[in-house]
Structure 1
Amino acid sequence: MTGVPVAPEADDKPPVIEFRQVGLTYPGPPPVEALCPGDLRVDAGEFVTIIGPSGSGKSTFLNIAGLLDVPTSGTYILDGINTGTLGDAGRTALRGRRIGFVFQSFHLLSHRSAQENVALAMLYNGVPRRERLSRAREVLQRVGLGHRVDALPARLSGGERQRVAIARALVGNPSLLLCDEPTGNLDTANAQTVLRLLDELHRDGMTVLVITHDSEVAQRGGRTVTIRDGVLSEHAVCVEAIA
């Protein structure tokens, strides 16, 4: 299968994501090839967008990149670590240390404040409560919500809730921010606020990967990868590719 051209090397750092003929086939009968074997490299500090129509394989790609699913072929290397050598516990630990997730649905606990929702991301990392709350406050300030730390989700706008979700993803200092349709539930104004935040995080050196069907969101990336019928390819963004 045709792979995706690799990005230029970033100094001597290993790529954050390296797919070497990674694919996933669900067993049958009949077997379903959800993601065809392909190559992809995402270097530290890149902003990459992944586009494709519904059913194209974006969710499968997300689950593999996020260490939620194990590929049935190829090798996935995350931050220089061959994930295929890890058991379930090792994959869970690596995911917790290296990947921050942002989803279309905010997944905030309604009875917890913004600060508490962010702090909960560190609950099982052995971080003392006082430090969890301090770090949560710091990262909320980073995303422009220092004045909303005590607010419950019901008191926040959609854009503010998504920024809380981004803060929760950032609080563990991940190598990769993996976003799945991060503006899908937002109106235009709030979507622009979230996109500007992602731009700022990228300028600060964060590696950002955004899965989207929105052509405007796709154009924010330095590179855009298309998934169609389970095949990864790299092309210029066009509306027809993601309709």
Structure 2
Amino acid sequence: MTADVADRAAVPVISFRGIGLTYPGPPPVEALRPCDLTVDRGEFVAVVGPSGSGKSTFLNIAGLLDAPTSGTYALDGIDTGALRDADRTSLRGLRIGFVFQSFHLLPQRSALENVMLALVYDGTPRRERAGRARQALTQVGLGHRVHALPTRLSGGERQRVAIARALVTEPSLLLCDEPTGNLDTANADSVLGLLDTLHNAGMTILVITHDPLVAARAKRTVTIRDGVLSVSDTAMSQVEP
């Protein structure tokens, strides 16, 4: 391992220091109270909590979709609060891959074309896009379905396309919001197995979920309740649901 690679591996992917978000009133709403959190490279972390607890606020801050009203957020060692809006958008596109409950695939585009779209905005030369998209689809087990339309794919396959689209830019963080929420049991287990494989290969994964079976796959748990974040170092698989 070179010194540069070793140095990068030592830098947390996510570092929250006093991060909070209060929506202006009247009355003001403290959606996420000031908190600290570190997610190291290669971790698989689940964020759990009831509806309205602050999970969506946490997701939006971690994903650079919303700016916190207090504290500092470093992504890959980069102080995101010091960036201009355009630079934050660029950093989000380069360093974070998003996977949502709804797959957000274009129905009239093939699996390959849907994945290629992620490369349009990151400066990848046109001649390289198809090859990289095909490689990402192969990585998620869909190398044989590159030309299929989403309407011809199962729910699990559509989510795999969405994961390939998130991976194709080689992000530092895979940020998943209820990734199995629209899937039946068999497809959900297949997608969770894929997340396990990605984590074992070194991907940093953060999953927002209300499902204890999904959270059980993570190695560490963050709980949010009434805007208060707490961290457990015990894997959910060792905790009673």
Question: What range describes the TM-score normalised by the shorter chain of this pair?
Answer: over 0.9
Counterpart of 2:37 in structure 1: which amino acid?
Answer: L
Which residue pairs with 2:193 in the alignment? 196
Matches within 5 A, 1:205-216: 205-216=202-213
Which residue pairs with 2:52 in the alignment? 55
Matches within 5 A, 1:89-128: 89-128=86-125
Please provide the CA RMSD for this pair: 1.4
* Shift in alpha-carbon separation, 1:239–1:31, aligned structure 2, 3 A: farther
| Distance in 1 between residues matched to 2:133 and 2:201, nearest whole Å | 19
CA contact (8 A) 1:215 1:239 kept: no
Counterpart of 2:150 in structure 1: which amino acid?
Answer: P
| Distance in 1 between residues matched to 2:58 and 2:121, nearest whole Å | 27
Which residue pairs with 2:4 in the alignment? none
Task: Please state if 1:160 is matched with 2:157.
Answer: yes
| Distance in 2 between residues matched to 1:12 and 1:186, nearest whole Å | 34
Counterpart of 2:137 in structure 1: which amino acid?
Answer: L
| Distance in 1 between residues matched to 2:9 and 2:211, nearest whole Å | 34
Aligned counterpart for 1:38 among listed residues 35, 38, 53: 35
Instruction: Specify every segment of 5 or more residues in structure 1 that has no aligned partner in the other structure, as ranges.
Output: 1-9
| Distance in 2 between residues matched to 1:64 and 1:156, nearest whole Å | 32
| Distance in 1 between residues matched to 2:84 and 2:41, nearest whole Å | 25
Task: Please state if 1:130 is matched with 2:127.
Answer: yes
Counterpart of 2:126 in structure 1: which amino acid?
Answer: R
Counterpart of 2:181 in structure 1: which amino acid?
Answer: G
Counterpart of 1:165 in structure 2: which amino acid?
Answer: A
Give the superposition deviation at 1:128.
Answer: 2.6
| Distance in 2 between residues matched to 1:239 and 1:57, nearest whole Å | 23
Q: Which structure 1 residue ranges, 4+ long, deviate > 3 Å from structure 2?
A: 235-240
Which residue pairs with 1:7 in the alignment? none
Instruction: Specify every segment of 5 or more residues in structure 2 that has no aligned partner in the other structure, as ranges.
Output: 1-6
Which residue pairs with 2:77 in the alignment? 80
Aligned counterpart for 2:142 among listed residues 118, 142, 145: 145
Determine helix, strand or coil for the equivalent of 2:144. Answer: helix
Aligned residue pairs total: 231
Matches within 5 A, 1:2-41: 13-41=10-38
Give the superposition deviation at 1:12.
Answer: 5.9
Residue identity (%): 74
CA contact (8 A) 1:48 1:225 kept: yes
| Distance in 2 between residues matched to 1:90 and 1:135, nearest whole Å | 24
> What's the TM-score once normalised by structure 1's chain length?
0.92
Counterpart of 2:87 in structure 1: which amino acid?
Answer: G
CA contact (8 A) 1:114 1:151 kept: yes
> What's the TM-score once normalised by structure 2's chain length?
0.93
